[in-house]
């Protein structure tokens, strides 16, 4: 790291401020020329924002091959997140996850992972041709959600697939549930495998001793971190962290295969400033967020009917730890699916929460939340129960259906396919993705057999108003299946 730099610095932002003072005449892109060519954009975003929407140049470094201010920002991020190196990612955590997987496995090689991964993981397998070895997570039958990976299940997968190159772990899941990451890292390393972490929802783990262990502190080799989720940077900005066993140069080459050559300085500056904010104030801020979440859990549970679950779920294995900042609320006992509560909050109370699935809602709490909004949420939930409370009978509970895998995602995605009405696809092999978004965990992935329980689940999700994404048919009335299979 350059001498004199500390966590109080924000090198990219500081370079942008210096650049603005120079009043450079722009004969480069972007074409709006500091907003002059697009006054509506300037009015929307403000003069300071469009003035900082600039292209790579010598004073501002280059994201594809950083040697000055971007390099400094990456090294400060690595220090803050306990990594050997950190890469600034402007394609979201999807890009970080895909770069992470493409760095460690290639066509025909195996990677061990839970089936309840984000669609970006499956997309990476389509791109590189690696073969997934699924560890089916346990499920909580009451909450209807997938849990973490049991250590013994991972050990069994490693024993049965000693040629696998890596193990991938969610740290945490969307619902805040963590597997025993240190034990899984040790299992992987003892078998000569790498351990990767999808840490999209665990940015804050690096800034609190009362939260679950972070991937880098657990010894993982790579972690994809969504700074824009709980870290406070702009949407679409993330970090990719690596440990000492990984080659920085190789990972950079992989990143550059798919990441834009026109990196947004607004996104990079937001990462820089957010990292500085977390390094300087993160510990006290996330203590406050955790306390706010615990208070909210008590308030929601006092309403009756709802269940805002927390650390009491921990069992030492499939729920090794729990992220207490996550406000996940089970809704079925008031007679409403989670997606129905989600819609009511948005449509009737102007409250936008993160997502609702068939049995739960998730309100995402972070450094920007205040008590007054919490009180408004709790009041709305109480009123929804009073007005819309019904019988639980007939509501689907199960949120996870173990897949029947017949082909690799790559092979299935690129196979010749045909489109059929969804009701005629039972028993066929899917060649596309189907998922509720958010959270973006596939119900079906390419190469998996379509079964009656899956079709029932899709129909029920549509009936309840879930947003289904992935299929070529936007209405999910038809599915693409492998021709002749």
Domain positions in the chain: 283-388, 409-482
Strand duo 360-364 + 434-436: pairing: unpaired
Q: Is there a contact between 237 and 268 (Cβ–Cβ < 8 Å)? A: yes
Give the tokens for residue 416: 């010749």
**Residue 397: per-residue pLDDT:** 63
Residue 411 has pLDDT above 90, yes or no: yes
What average pLDDT score do residues 105-117 get? 95
Closest alpha carbon to 80 in 7, 3, 13:
7
Q: Alpha-carbon distance 444 to 429, whole Å? A: 10
Topology annotation, domain 283-388: 3.90.1150
Q: How far apart are CA 327 and CA 378, in angstroms?
A: 12
Indicate the burial class of 38 (C-beta count within 10 angstroms; 0-12, 13-18, 19 or more).
Answer: middle
For 84, what's the count of Cα atoms within 13 Å in the CB-facing half-sphere? 14
pLDDT tens digits, residue range 248-306? 999 999 999 999 999 999 999 999 999 999 999 999 999 999 999 999 999 999 999 99
pLDDT at 220 over 70: yes
Mean pLDDT of the chain: 94
Rounded mean pLDDT, 36-49: 92
Q: Is the pLDDT assigned to residue 346 strictly greater than 90?
A: yes
d(CA 308, CA 429): 38
Contact partners, residue 370, CB within 8 Å, separation at least 6? none
Measured from the Cβ of residue 32, the count of other Cβ atoms closer than 10 Å reads 15
pTM for this entry: 0.94
H or E element, residue 127: helix 119-128
pLDDT exceeds 90 at position 442: no
Asked if residue 463 lies in contact with residue 396, where contact means CB atoms within 8 angstroms, the answer is no
Contacts of 226 (CB under 8 A, 6+ apart): 92, 93, 199, 200, 201, 203, 238
Closest of 345, 485, 388, 479 to residue 429, by C-alpha: 485
Q: Does residue 393 have a pLDDT over 70?
A: no
Please give the pLDDT value at position 115.
87
Percent of the chain scoring above 70 in pLDDT: 98
pLDDT above 90 (res 87): yes
CATH annotation of 409-482:
3.90.100.10
Query: 133-137, 329-333, 416-420: which has the minimum mean pLDDT?
Result: 133-137
Paired tokens of 160: 């049965």
């Amino acid at each position: 790291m350059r001498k004199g730099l500390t966590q109080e610095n924000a090198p990219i932002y500081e370079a942008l401020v210096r650049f603005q003072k120079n009043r450079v005449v722009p004969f480069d892109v972007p074409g709006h020329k500091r907003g002059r060519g697009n006054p509506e954009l300037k009015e929307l975003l403000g003069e300071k924002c469009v003035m900082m929407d600039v292209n790579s140049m010598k004073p501002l470094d280059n994201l594809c091959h950083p040697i000055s201010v971007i390099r400094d920002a990456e090294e400060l991020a690595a220090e803050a997140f306990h990594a050997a190196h950190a890469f600034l990612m402007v394609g979201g955590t999807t890009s970080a996850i895909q770069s992470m997987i493409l760095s460690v496995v290639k066509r025909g090689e195996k990677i061990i992972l839970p089936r309840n991964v984000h669609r970006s993981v499956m997309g990476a397998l389509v791109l590189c041709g690696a073969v997934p070895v699924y560890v089916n997570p346990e499920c909580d039958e009451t909450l209807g959600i997938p849990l973490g990976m049991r250590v013994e299940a991972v050990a069994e997968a490693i024993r049965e697939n000693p040629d696998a190159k890596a193990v991938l772990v969610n740290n945490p899941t969307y619902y805040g549930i963590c597997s025993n990451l240190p034990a899984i890292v040790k299992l992987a390393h003892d078998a000569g495998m790498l351990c990767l972490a999808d840490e999209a929802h665990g940015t804050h783990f690096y800034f609190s001793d009362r939260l679950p262990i972070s991937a880098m502190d657990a010894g993982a080799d790579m972690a994809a971190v969504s700074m824009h989720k709980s870290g406070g940077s702009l949407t679409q900005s993330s970090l990719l962290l690596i440990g000492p066993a990984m080659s920085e140069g190789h990972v950079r080459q992989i990143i550059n295969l798919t990441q834009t050559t026109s990196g947004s300085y607004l996104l990079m500056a937001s990462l820089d400033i957010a990292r500085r904010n977390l390094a300087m104030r993160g510990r006290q801020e996330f203590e406050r967020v955790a306390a706010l979440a615990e208070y909210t859990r008590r308030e929601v549970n006092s309403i009756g009917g709802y269940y805002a679950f927390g650390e009491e779920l921990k069992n030492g294995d499939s729920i090794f730890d729990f992220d207490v900042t996550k406000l996940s609320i089970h809704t079925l006992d008031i007679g409403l699916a989670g997606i129905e509560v989600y819609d009511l909050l948005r449509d009737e109370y102007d409250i936008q929460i993160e997502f609702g699935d068939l049995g739960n809602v998730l309100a995402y709490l972070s450094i920007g939340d205040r008590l007054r909004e919490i009180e408004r949420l709790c009041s709305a939930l109480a009123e929804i129960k009073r007005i819309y409370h019904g019988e639980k009978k007939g509501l689907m509970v199960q949120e996870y259906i173990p897949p029947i895998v017949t082909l690799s995602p790559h092979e299935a995605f690129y196979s010749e396919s045909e489109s059929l009405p969804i009701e005629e696809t039972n028993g066929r092999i899917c060649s596309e993705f189907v998922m509720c978004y958010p959270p973006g965990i596939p119900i079906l992935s390419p190469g998996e057999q379509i079964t009656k329980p899956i079709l029932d689940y899709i129909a029920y999700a549509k009936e309840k108003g879930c947003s289904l994404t992935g299929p070529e048919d936007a209405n999910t009335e038809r599915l693409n299946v492998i021709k002749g299979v």
